[in-house]
Amino acid sequence: MMAGERRTLLLDFEKPLAELESQIQQVRDKSSELGVDVADQIRDLEQRARHVRQEIFSKLTPGQTLQVARHPRRPSTLDYIQAISDEWLELHGDRRGSDDPAIVGGVGRLGQQPVVMLGHQKGRDTKDNVARNFGMASPGGYRKAMRLMEHANRFSLPILTFIDTPAAWAGIDAEKFGQGEAIAYNLREMFRLDVPIICTVIGEGGSGGALAIGVGDRLLMFEHAVYSVAPPEACAAILWRDAQKGPIAAESLKITAPDLLKLGIIDEILPEPIGAAHSDPVQAAENLKQSLGHHLADLQKMSGAERRELRYQKFRRMGVFSQANES
């Protein structure tokens, strides 16, 4: 990555770390020019940089976590699929006339196990993001996802979904072609599938657009991902008519992995490398692959009826609370 690009992608709270990395590079450059051994100095600076990186990423606010989840270099669905699968064949189309690029999916192998993998796909740059509508799927995208899941159920293939979207597409055409119906249909149908379903929030999980491929036996979530009923900016615009108050809304929405684990929404937090998944995508993918293999082996011990019942009970428990009687 070029230095200019690195500065462009730098998050505000990463500046102290960037300054240290700049110092390390300056020391290296000077040592090359003067032929001086500065190994000890560089070692000390690198150790300090690791400490600063760990300090920064261990104390992120919900608003900062949201920035990390949206980082343009964060691994995408296709990145993870290519990293964890031994074979992969992408399948296209919803068989109703569209092939939404904001949802990708196909057949692959996780170790020796054939699986169907699908998820939201954001772009890497402005042109790619526009082509993929920033990962915001249309009705056709969710119908394509459901077609692939029905294919998996027909051939007894486990389903792995990867969630990474701000929300479902909210355009006029989306409503015209039945966005609400497409999402509702997916929610209903995912509950009846016999095969194991493991859903993972890899980046930004926003609104019904995320939930439409998020009904599963296990819901995993990366450490610096977010999962929310609505994007914080949208929530702030509704409550205070000011989208700039998104960070305040993020605090109240409980969008982070630790909060959601405590609330019983997710089943496991996947650790990320120090500096988040975009700093070491290979290690992040390895963490994901190990967890998927563990949960898949556990779920395959059950019958289809047992999985359906556990899936149903899992979602029935969400939001349940008890109220003490007032004396």
pLDDT in the model for residue 214: 95
Return d(Cα 122, Cα 165) in angstroms, integer: 8
**In sequence order, what DSSP letters do the residues of 159-205 get, joined into one string?**
EEEEEEESSS--SHHHHHTTHHHHHHHHHHHHHH--S-EEEEEEEEE
pLDDT in the model for residue 260: 95
Contacts of 154 (CB under 8 A, 6+ apart): none
Mean pLDDT by 10 residues, the chain (327 residues): 49 72 69 65 73 81 92 94 94 91 96 96 91 94 96 97 94 92 96 97 93 96 94 89 89 93 94 91 96 96 95 90 69
Q: Is 243 exposed, middle or buried (0-12, 13-18, 19+ CB in 10 A)?
A: middle
- Exposure of 161 in the CB half-sphere (CA atoms within 13 A): 31
Question: Can you say whether the dihedral through the CA atoms of 34, 39, 43, 44 is positive or negative?
Answer: negative
Contacts of 55 (CB under 8 A, 6+ apart): none
List the beta strands (DSSP E) in the chain.
Answer: 87-90, 103-110, 113-120, 159-165, 197-206, 218-222, 226-228, 268-270
**Residue showing tokens 């949201």:** 66
Q: What is the pTM of this model?
A: 0.88
Return d(Cα 59, Cα 141) in angstroms, integer: 36
Measure Cα distances from 122 to 79, 164, 173, 243, 250 in Å.
11, 8, 20, 22, 22
What is the Cα 36 distance to its own chain's centre?
45
Return d(Cα 27, Cα 30) in angstroms, integer: 5
Angle at 323 between CA 319 and CA 326, to 5 degrees: 160
pLDDT in the model for residue 5: 45
Contacts of 158 (CB under 8 A, 6+ apart): 113, 115, 116, 152, 195, 196, 197, 198, 296, 299, 300
Contacts of 69 (CB under 8 A, 6+ apart): 203, 204, 224, 225, 226
Return d(Cα 80, Cα 69) in angstroms, integer: 15
86: closest CA among 254, 293, 315, 243? 293
- Residue 77 · residue 199 · CB < 8 Å: no
